[in-house]
Structures are given as structure tokens and as C-alpha cells.
Amino acid sequence: MSGVDEDAGYAKGRARRALIVRTAFEAFSAHGYRGASLVQIAADCGVSRAGLVHYFPTKESLLEAVLEERDRVDSEQFFAGVTSPIDGLDLLSRFARLVEHNTSNRGIVSLFAVLSVEASDPSHPAHAYFATRYENLRRHLRAAIADLDARGLLRPGVVVEGLEAELIATADGLQVQWLIAPDSIDMAAGFRRRLAELVAVEVA
């Protein structure tokens, strides 16, 4: 019986931890990291402050869990099986599908829009996360663009240098405008139009 009880306890603990992460995600999306309250997050989860601290000793550890969960879901859904060396068309297609997916996930877009601005402060607990995330994204996009260039798939006159940062800026800028005016801005279509200006073949 003790094994059954322990398994039930572990399952309950995992479920509560997942609930806390989901609730924190919503709080950070709505109020930013600094504006979100651990006391309110705990109350929204139906646990005490001490109960929340049992799973996440600090606010920083809770933020880390939220960001890790977001990356885990995106990696499994959009970037599993990425080949090495990188196939440029494949990677841009995955990136475009992620932008399109985000149109049905306002919370994700809001979370990253709010936190990425806050995290420009080097003292912010998510600063290193965003610096690493953008560095990795630029590196993968550089490899994708180099592959397309080597295969002669970029349109004439496209300047390769710095293009990876411009693509990220296009996606991020469209997402912010979409948050403000979702009925006027089609961020998925806008991003694909930009890809069509750069790539000589269709990015599926």
C-alpha cells in the first residue's frame, strides 16, 4: 500500500507543480516578472505561500520553470528532428509555422513581449535566458541563410550579412503590433511576405 500511496503523492505533486507553472505563466504574461505577485499566484492556485515555496523556493526559480516549459513545448512541436547541417528551407518553414501558431496563443506572445523588454536590464533574472535564446536563434538562422545562399535560393540583391537579426526583428515587431491591434495585423501573413521577398522558392 505504501508504494501506491507514494505514487499517488508523486502524481499529485506533479499536477500541483504544473498548475503553479501555468498560473505563473498567466501572471507573468499579464503583469511582467516584477509586477507579478507570488502571493497572488499562490492564491490563484489554491495553495499557501509556503506551499508554493515548497515547489519553487524563489521567484527566479518559478520564472525559470515557466520559460523552460515554454521552450520544451515549442521544441517538441516545431523543432524536433531538425537536421544537421541545417536545411535552410526546412528551418524557415518551421519558424514561419511557429509564428502562425502564436496567433492562437496570445499569452505566449504577451509573455515574451513583456519579459524581453524587462530583461534588457542586465540585472533582470531572465536577462541571460533571453541573451542566450537570441544568440542561438541568430546562429541557427545564419546557418539557414548560408545554406539557401549556397544553393542559389536567395533572390538577387539580398544582403546576407545581418539578415538573421532582421528576420527576428520582423517576427518580434509583428507580434507586438498584433498584440495591440489583433484585428488589423496578420503577423503570420506578414512574416511569410517577408520570406517571399528574400527566398526565390516558396517556403512551405
- At 5 the pLDDT is 54
Residue 88 sits in the same domain as residue 144: yes
Residue 100 sits in the same domain as residue 132: yes
Residue 141 sits in the same domain as residue 89: yes
Angle in degrees, CA 141, 142, 145, rounded to 5 = 85
38 or 7, greater pLDDT = 38
Residue 58 sits in the same domain as residue 109: no
Summarised one tens digit per residue, pLDDT across range 51-110 is 999 999 999 999 989 988 888 888 888 888 887 889 999 999 999 999 999 998 888 888
Rounded Cα distance between 68 and 27, Å, is: 16
Last residue of a domain, one of 66, 95, 122: 66
Q: Is residue 75 part of a domain?
A: no
Last residue of a domain, one of 66, 94, 118: 66
pTM: 0.82
Q: What's the total number of domains in the chain?
A: 2
Cβ atoms of 153 and 89 within 8 Å: the answer is yes
Q: Which residues 6+ apart lie within 8 Å of 139 measured at CB?
A: none
- Give the domain CATH number at 3: 1.10.10.60
Residue 100 sits in the same domain as residue 139: yes
The mean pLDDT of 182-197, rounded to a whole number, is: 97
- At 128 the pLDDT is 92
Domain boundaries, position 131: 81-204
Residue 24 sits in the same domain as residue 55: yes
What totals of helices (H) and strands (E) does the chain contain, helices first?
9, 0
The 3-class secondary structure across 4-20, one letter per residue, is HHHHHHHHHHHHHHHHH
Residue 59 sits in the same domain as residue 25: yes
- Give the domain CATH number at 167: 1.10.357
Residue 29 sits in the same domain as residue 122: no
Q: Is residue 134 part of a domain?
A: yes
- At 79 the pLDDT is 87
> According to the per-residue pLDDT averaged within each range, which of 30-39, 71-80, 176-185 is highest?
176-185
Residue 60 sits in the same domain as residue 93: no
pLDDT band at 8, cuts 50/70/90? low
Q: Is residue 72 part of a domain?
A: no
Q: Is residue 74 part of a domain?
A: no
Rounded Cα distance between 127 and 131, Å, is: 6
Residue 100 sits in the same domain as residue 198: yes
Last residue of a domain, one of 66, 99, 115: 66
Residue 94 sits in the same domain as residue 24: no
Residue 92 sits in the same domain as residue 42: no
